[in-house]
Structure 1
């Protein structure tokens, strides 16, 4: 029956519970009717008000059991497990509440929401970019970024898509670093520098964005010129290698020639130094010898003069192979064949040591005889001059 259906008398709406003109229904009466209807659903007596009271009691017990079971199920639904490598972000009515640590945890179902994040797993992002260098050349660089979740609250709540933001920040950092370097440096020994500067800049970006990500490693996997100019670039690389090879050969030749020239120069310097020392020493010795002779001459001029004469004759005779001796007061000239004597001495030396020694002794005796004769002639000449005076 509708609420606005007329009934009874007048234009007042008819009460669907049959109350007539009574006021608002009593709350206890409404709860009692609801209990009776639920009891009918669960098999109890659903009669009118005059029904038996036992059915109402059974329906209440069943309802209590159902409510208790629902509470137990609701409570059991709140238990969950957080692994050792995970952290859980607990949201209560969509607002951050706390960070759940590893272990068995409980949160109120349908009220709290738990978002689990693996904080120890090393994640990786790979990307390839084509960009301009400082010297306006085009290079293609493939890089990889490895990272971990350092702050789960920021990772889940502060940024809508932190990994997408990380990729965009990595591309920006790579373009900034490569744009400040030359192509040769990027393609050769500068790759490690690119990775280091890129990691530093990327970490600054992610920290400023509040992504909760910590960059662990940045690697430049490949750097090469674009495919369209690969042939020309290979020619440039080959020419550069030829240049380095020629430089190495020239350096090797210089390393072999320069030390040798330095050695020769040093040897000449040493020889010149030795010659200088020899000349200086010889001059010093001659000067000392002259001083000594001067002293001896001052003490005995005649004897010193005769001695110098004999030494000079001996020095001259030792360098010639023929000696002619003119004896004063006679017509015979003595001839000494020193060359023949020397040859005989050499031939006898090849035959045996004894003959060589005998010839040498004869030569010495002959030389001594000549020297003695010369000394006598010099003495006789000196006496003759004294008698004339």
Structure 2
């Protein structure tokens, strides 16, 4: 049956149900909102609407509700002061705009806004200040007004340098100096210009790069500490030092000539390092040999002098005997080096066998000067081969001994 037909019970889809407010219809939204408003007004001491429709009725203030709401709001406000500092970062706490503390990584609490505030600073990130060039989207391009510098010998050089730095003091970095990073870049350019201006072009282009970077870092750190920027210079790296593009071919020729010169100097130095120790060794050996020869000659001379003194003493005691003895010893020494054999013809027999191999040391000299061994000869009595000269010598020795 349609809602507008007779007998439909007065049902209206836009109405609140049957006239008179039957229990089977949907709830009245106005009534629901009115009850909710009355409850909120009751918490805060507002006026409550009358149930008979004559108007709102007064009610006392809801102090308990206000207290609970204020406590909840204060707890939420206090919890908003909890913050966490990540690893590698530092937290700078401010209370009424004044520095209160610098916190380490971890959870912390501070007065929430508007009483306090926290600024977080990354102290492990390495930042780079580029002088003479700039990097954009992975590509670098030169900056001529920063790169061109003049040396002490009034030459122009193109310098590109990068200074790496970190935040050392977060509070000084944030509040003690305005634009510290831009200041560091300008100070870097000023420092490198001062260092380059005190060096000559040849030194800067060859072996002076390390010294230029080291001195620039030292000077830059001194200025940053003086300004109290809170930045620490980690490293200064020279990216490139070269003459201007217009004169590069001439400088390359000069550099090649200097390299050839240095190579020849190194080669000569290596040869000298090889030759000088050898000569020093030979000189030391010659000195040692001379010293040994000197000691040998001195010792031999001293021995001869001592022996001569002993012979003089014996000669004074028995001049004739010592004269004969010296003569025989001298002749023995002289004839002992000769290959000839002297015999006494009167005392010799008609036939005798001489052990020449034993008398002459087992070897004899041929006409060509070659040494050949003699054949062994059986001798009955070797004492018969002793010459009268040797017998006389032995007799004189025996007599002198007695």
Fold match (TM-score > 0.5): yes
More helix, by proportion: 1
How far did 1:76 drift? Answer: 5.3
Q: Deviations over 1:3-27 (max 9, x none)?
A: xxxxxxxxxxxxxxxxxxxxxxxxx
2:160 is the alignment partner of 1:141: yes
Q: Deviations over 1:129-149 (max 9, x none)?
A: 322233333141322221215
Q: Deviations over 1:325-349 (max 9, x none)?
A: 6869xxx9xxx9x89x859855998
- 2 CA distance for matches of 1:263 and 1:286? 34
Q: 247, 253, 270: which one pairs with 1:235?
A: 253
- 1 CA distance for matches of 2:301 and 2:387? 31
- 2 CA distance for matches of 1:249 and 1:346? 60
Q: Residues 263-342 of structure 1 correspond to what in structure 2 (within 5 A)?
A: 263-322=281-340, 342=360
- 8 Å CA contact 1:89–1:100 kept in 2: the answer is yes
Report the CA distance shift for 1:365/1:296 in structure 2 as closer, same or farther (over 3 A). farther
2:91 alignment counterpart: 87
- 8 Å CA contact 2:187–2:220 kept in 1: the answer is yes
How far did 1:225 drift? Answer: 0.7
TM-score (norm 2): 0.58
Report the CA distance shift for 1:305/1:128 in structure 2 as closer, same or farther (over 3 A). same
Unaligned runs of 5+ in 1: 1-43, 45-51, 377-389
1:250 alignment counterpart: 268
2:123 alignment counterpart: 120
The alignment's C-alpha RMSD in Å is: 4.8
How far did 1:158 drift? Answer: 4.4
- 8 Å CA contact 2:173–2:231 kept in 1: the answer is no
- 1 CA distance for matches of 2:363 and 2:126? 103
1:48 alignment counterpart: none
- 8 Å CA contact 1:124–1:145 kept in 2: the answer is yes
- 8 Å CA contact 2:111–2:117 kept in 1: the answer is no
- 8 Å CA contact 2:94–2:101 kept in 1: the answer is yes
- 8 Å CA contact 2:93–2:102 kept in 1: the answer is no
2:27 alignment counterpart: none
1:385 alignment counterpart: none
2:14 alignment counterpart: none
How far did 1:244 drift? Answer: 2.8
**Further displaced range: 99-108 or 264-273:** 99-108
Instruction: Tell me the secondary structure at the aligned position of residue 280 of structure 1.
Output: helix
- 2 CA distance for matches of 1:179 and 1:246? 31
Q: Deviations over 1:186-232 (max 9, x none)?
A: 44554444344333333343344453x22141221423213514444
Instruction: Tell me the secondary structure at the aligned position of residue 271 of structure 2.
Output: helix
- 2 CA distance for matches of 1:128 and 1:264? 59
- 8 Å CA contact 1:82–1:88 kept in 2: the answer is no
2:229 is the alignment partner of 1:215: no
- Bigger Cα Rg: 1
- 8 Å CA contact 1:140–1:224 kept in 2: the answer is yes
- 2 CA distance for matches of 1:107 and 1:373? 135
TM-score (norm 1): 0.60
- 1 CA distance for matches of 2:316 and 2:183? 114
Report the CA distance shift for 1:135/1:371 in structure 2 as closer, same or farther (over 3 A). same
- 2 CA distance for matches of 1:280 and 1:237? 63
2:226 is the alignment partner of 1:225: no
Q: Residues 7-156 of structure 1 correspond to what in structure 2 (within 5 A)?
A: 54-55=55-56, 79=80, 82-84=83-85, 85-88=89-92, 90=94, 96-99=97-100, 103-108=108-113, 114=117, 116-129=119-132, 130=147, 131-137=149-155, 138-148=157-167, 150-152=169-171, 154-156=172-174
Report the CA distance shift for 1:199/1:289 in structure 2 as closer, same or farther (over 3 A). closer
Report the CA distance shift for 1:366/1:258 in structure 2 as closer, same or farther (over 3 A). farther
Unaligned runs of 5+ in 2: 1-46, 48-52, 133-146, 366-370, 396-402
Q: Residues 370-389 of structure 1 correspond to what in structure 2 (within 5 A)?
A: 370-372=389-391
